[in-house]
Structure 1
Amino acid sequence: MTVVRRADTRRTETPNAVMTTYASPTLGGSTQALWQVEMMPGAAGPRHTMDVEQVWTVLRGRATVEVSEEAYDLGPGDSIVLAGGVPRRFHADPTHGLTALVTGRGAAHAEVPGGATSIPPWIA
């Protein structure tokens, strides 16, 4: 059993969001990763794919999630299960932003079209 204390969580900032890692292969030794995403109002992440399934649950704010060619509007308490290999893009609500809790296999690979494949630091 491993306890990860709040003081040991890891914070990663990108141009689109702030991710707080609560558990991952390098934080607690879990095979799963658990992190929180905070996006400012109107922020949008890049279109990308993950090689594993992820589950996102909206805690506060709202989001529009583009999955392949579909768009889904999510609010507090809503969850979306995203299959691996499916293109997705998150858009935070222009007024309220987005705070979500996310889980998936740790050390998963992300790929941006035309870019390299890498393991995002918040799930490493």
Structure 2
Amino acid sequence: MPVIEGPQSPTHELPHARFTSLATPSRGSAETSVWRVEIAAGSEPAPHSVTREEIFVVLSGEASVEIDGETRRACSGDAIVVPPDTLFSIANAGDTPLTLLCALPVGGQARLPDGEPFTPPWAL
């Protein structure tokens, strides 16, 4: 059973979010990419879609989730299931950082509303 050590995980920084690769093809997984995302309080969401089902688990904080025009709250322990090819965004609804665990099948890609599909670097 392979163990991928967390402290050596690559981290990708955006203005209001940090993505930490945990299990990805470049780190030894074959079927599923998993990463941790931390979203700063007060940050603007980034609407996008994905080509495969994506699952988030809220580890800490409170999320405001918009999926296909419907907005819901998600708290620690809740799972967020995003269907493929559906516009969604996740925002931090609290005053502290929002931390989520994310899983996407290998080969899944993201798409911004006006762009072509791409593979995020934290999923490689």
Please confirm whether the aligned pair reaches a TM-score higher than 0.5, indicating the same fold. yes
- Consecutive unaligned residues in structure 1, runs of 5 or more: none
TM-score by length of 1: 0.92
- Consecutive unaligned residues in structure 2, runs of 5 or more: none
CA distance in 2, matches of 1:18, 1:106: 20
Contact 2:61–2:94 (Cα < 8 Å) also in 1: no
Q: SS of 1:55's equivalent? A: strand
Match of 1:29 in 2: 29
Match of 1:57 in 2: 57
Aligned length: 124
Deviation of 1:7 after TM superposition, in Å, equals: 3.4
Deviation of 1:117 after TM superposition, in Å, equals: 1.6
Q: SS of 1:118's equivalent? A: coil
Runs of 4+ off more than 6 Å: none
Deviation of 1:86 after TM superposition, in Å, equals: 0.8
Q: CA RMSD in A?
A: 1.4
Letter in 1 for 2:121: P
% identity of equivalent residues = 28
Match of 2:17 in 1: 17
Deviation of 1:34 after TM superposition, in Å, equals: 0.8
| Larger deviation, residues 5-14 vs 71-80 | 5-14
Contact 1:63–1:73 (Cα < 8 Å) also in 2: yes
Letter in 2 for 1:21: S
Deviation of 1:49 after TM superposition, in Å, equals: 0.3
Contact 1:42–1:97 (Cα < 8 Å) also in 2: no
